[in-house]
Amino acid sequence: MADLTVWKFASPDGAESVLTKLADLQKQHLIDIKDAAIVTWAPGKKKPKTKQALPLTSLGALDGAFWGMLFGLIFFVPLFGAAVGAITGALSGHFQDYGINDDFIKEVRDKVTEGTSALFLLTESVTLDKVEEAVKADAPELIQSNLTKEQEATLKEHFSAAE
């Protein structure tokens, strides 16, 4: 079963720093990262910057459409107000099919704000205590949404970067 996790950091560069640490942990087989994306929100900016952290050719990587739609729903749709309410509802319902519910989206939206950063990870096997130990100095806040095998398969079927 895959996990979609969001690690929130109190600084705009925290997510980038921890991704490097997690890459080292992956070499030790303490975490299996299938895909990753980073959100950085610099102080004084109205919206965050987002980027996919792994090459699209990575085994198990999702294409940019998944991250784009998820980040749009979390960070950019609220900026447009009620005019896009119907679209927001449709997208939100679409993501629930993948195990990403409204509470998860709201929690991420409320916690990842100006002056912070976040690391979005799609992982499989994780030795959580070892990973938490390795990143605790960076003081991340973990937000988690577990995906069932069926939801993971649906997610990969609809958004896989592999052809």
* Segments forming the whole domain that contains residue 55: 3-159
Q: CA dihedral in degrees (147, 151, 156, 159; nearest 10)?
A: -100
Per the model's pLDDT, the better-predicted residue between 8 and 5 turns out to be 8
What pLDDT score does 33 carry?
A: 87
| Per-residue model confidence (pLDDT) at position 156 | 61
More confidently predicted of 68 and 103: 103
CA-based nearest residue to 126, from 117, 138, 134: 134
Among 27-36, 124-133, 137-146, 147-156, the range with the most confident prediction by mean pLDDT is 27-36
Would you say how long the chain is, in residues? 163
Strand segments, DSSP code E, in 10-138 are 31-40, 49-52, 117-126
Q: How far apart are the C-alpha atoms of 81 and 163, rounded to whole Å?
A: 36
pLDDT band at 101 (very low <50, low <70, confident <90, very high): low
**In terms of C-beta density within 10 A (0-12 exposed, 13-18 middle, 19 or more buried), how is residue 38 classed?**
buried
Q: What is the C-alpha to C-alpha distance for residues 112 and 108, in angstroms, rounded to an integer?
A: 6
Q: In the predicted model, is pLDDT for residue 87 greater than 60?
A: no
DSSP class of residue 13?
A: T
| Per-residue tokens: 65 | 């459409």
Which range is most confident: 34-43, 77-86, 128-137?
A: 34-43
List phi, psi (to 5°) of 143.
Answer: -120, 130
Report d(CA 159, CA 52) in Å as an integer.
13
Mean pLDDT value across the chain: 74
Residue 91 or 46, more confident: 46
Per-residue model confidence (pLDDT) at position 95: 53
Domains in the chain, number: 1
Contact assessment for residue 111 and residue 15, using Cβ atoms and an 8 Å cutoff:
no
User: Which of residues 128 and 64 earns the better pLDDT score?
Assistant: 128
Across the range 32-49, mean pLDDT stands at 89
Quote the pLDDT of residue 66: 66
